[in-house]
Chains A and B, each alone.
Chain A
Amino acid sequence: DTEVTQTPKHLVMGMTNKKSLKCEQHMGHRAMYWYKQKAKKPPELMFVYSYEKLSINESVPSRFSPECPNSSLLNLHLHALQPEDSALYLCASSPMGSGGMERETQYFGPGTRLLVL
């Protein structure tokens, strides 16, 4: 099973709303990622969790708040977003740990298409 799932598939929210994006993987991967992607551009890294600890924050505004409740789950809490935050939000996971370089391979979920009005 090489599947990463994300919910919801689509989300429309106002600038004063609070919402959360969810991501789940059952591959035993120890690293999980949040990316933001604009149309026809490559994904931009936002956060990395390694062994359930936040290891990388790419200077993301505080209106985005990640959370990793356990090794299989990753959340992204959204509050007071701006229209320019509208994008496809992708979750990914990778094996990490010991082993060959293929442990760096990231597997992406289907994404959440977010529209901020």
Chain B
Amino acid sequence: TQLLEQSPQFLSIQEGENLTVYCNSSSVFSSLQWYRQEPGEGPVLLVTVVTGGEVKKLKRLTFQFGDARKDSSLHITAAQPGDTGLYLCAGARNQGGKLIFGQGTELSVKP
């Protein structure tokens, strides 16, 4: 079974705090995507990482792909209430389009 372990599953923090979400696997991925989803809406793509060791920044969000392309992290600096949502990581393994999803991190940022 291909697994992508995502942690933590739930995170409730105050505005202004920093946080990190992790996705770990024993399998190598050809690429990995991070999405943010609000209730009742579709997942919105935040970033795709493809190169081992790659770091990408999107305003206060920093994404890293592990050197061996088996793990990834999302770091949010100075979280804001607008960051609240379900964060999903999803890895691809050149298998005809199938993505392996993490279980998701439900983030709540309180003002």
Instruction: Determine whether the beta carbon of A104 is less than 8 Å from that of B43.
Output: no
Q: Which B residues, 14 to 51, have Cβ-Cβ distances below 8 Å to chain A? A: 30-31, 33, 35, 39-45, 48, 50
The total of interchain contacts (Cβ-Cβ below 8 angstroms) comes to 76
Q: Does A90 make an interface contact (CB < 8 A)?
A: yes
Chain A contact-residue range equals 20 to 34
Chain B contact-residue range equals 20 to 34
- Given known A41-B104, A105-B48, contact A111–B96 (CB-CB < 8 A): no
Query: Which residues of A sit under 8 angstroms from B99, Cβ to Cβ?
Result: 45, 104, 106
Interface digits, A61-100 against B, CB 8 Å rule (1 contact, 0 not)? 0000000000000000000000000001010001010001
- Given known A56-B96, A101-B92, contact A43–B43 (CB-CB < 8 A): yes
Query: Which residues of B sit under 8 angstroms from A113, Cβ to Cβ?
Result: 40
Instruction: Determine whether the beta carbon of A48 is less than 8 Å from that of B96.
Output: yes
- Given known A88-B40, A110-B42, A113-B40, contact A43–B101 (CB-CB < 8 A): yes
12 contacts between A and B (CB under 8 A): A6-B42, A40-B86, A48-B96, A50-B97, A55-B97, A88-B42, A102-B31, A104-B48, A104-B99, A105-B45, A108-B44, A109-B42
Interface of B with A (CB < 8 Å)? 30-31, 33, 35, 39-45, 48, 50, 86, 88, 90, 92, 94, 96-99, 101-104, 106
CB distance from A100 to the nearest CB of B (A): 6
State A6–B106 Cα separation when bound (angstroms).
25
Query: Which residues of A sit under 8 angstroms from B41, Cβ to Cβ?
Result: 110-111
Query: Which residues of A sit under 8 angstroms from B86, Cβ to Cβ?
Result: 40
Q: Which of B35, B43, B97, B102 contacts A94 (CB 8 A)?
A: B97
State A50–B98 Cα separation when bound (angstroms).
11
